[in-house]
Amino acid sequence: MPRPASLRPSALARQFRRALLLVALAGTMKFAWEYETTRRPLRLASEAPHPFRVEPGANAESIGRSLHELGFVSYPWLFRAYVLQRGDGARLRAGDYSFSGSLTLEELVDKLVEGEVVRHDVTFPEGRSLLEMAELAAAKGLPADEFLKAARDPAAVHDLDPDATDLEGYLFPDTYDVSRRPAAAAVLVARMVHRFREVISPELPGLVSRGLRLREVVTLASLVELETARADERGRIAAVFLNRLKKGMLLQTDPTIIYALRKADSWDGNIRKRDLAIESPYNTYRYPGLPPGPIGSPGREALLAVIAPADVKDLYFVSRNDGSHEFSETLAQHERAVDRFQRRRPRVQGS
- Exposed, middle or buried, 39 (CB in 10 Å: 0-12/13-18/19+)? exposed
pLDDT at 39 over 80: no
Q: What are the extents of the domains in the chain?
A: 50-114, 120-202, 211-342
Give domain 50-114's CATH number out of 3.40.50.20, 3.40.50.720, 3.60.15.10, 3.30.1490.480.
3.30.1490.480
User: For residue 89, what pLDDT is reported?
Assistant: 84
Q: What CA–CA distance (Å, rounded) separates 112 from 110?
A: 5
Mean of pLDDT over the chain: 86
Q: Tell me: the pLDDT tens digits for 202-242?
A: 998 888 777 889 999 999 999 999 999 999 999 999 999 99
* 322-325 own/partner pairs: CB under 8 Å, 24+ apart: 323/228, 323/229, 323/230, 324/230, 324/233, 325/227, 325/228, 325/233, 325/237
Q: Tell me: the pLDDT tens digits for 296-308?
A: 999 999 999 999 9
- Exposed, middle or buried, 144 (CB in 10 Å: 0-12/13-18/19+)? middle
pLDDT band (50, 70, 90) for residue 187 = very high
Q: pTM of the full predicted structure?
A: 0.72
Q: What is the mean pLDDT of residues 119-137?
A: 93
Q: What CA–CA distance (Å, rounded) separates 328 from 323?
A: 17
Q: What is the mean pLDDT of residues 269-279?
A: 89
Residue from 202, 208, 211, 234 nearest 221 by CA: 234
**Residue 223, Cβ neighbours under 10 Å: how many?**
27
- Looking at this protein, which amino acid is placed at residue 234? R
Q: For the residues of 60-83, what is the DSSP string, one character each?
A: HHHHHHHHHHTTSSS-HHHHHHHH
Q: What CA–CA distance (Å, rounded) separates 299 from 38?
A: 50
pLDDT: which is higher, 116 or 46:
116
Say if CB 151 and CB 135 are below 8 A apart: no
**Residue 332, Cβ neighbours under 10 Å: how many?**
9
Residue from 104, 45, 97 nearest 72 by CA: 104
Q: What is the mean pLDDT of residues 335-351?
A: 67
Say if CB 237 and CB 246 are below 8 A apart: no
pLDDT band (50, 70, 90) for residue 95 = confident
pLDDT band (50, 70, 90) for residue 75 = confident
Name residues whose C-beta falls within 8 Å of residue 149's C-beta, 6 or more positions apart in sequence. Answer: 185, 186
Q: What is the mean pLDDT of residues 148-170?
A: 96
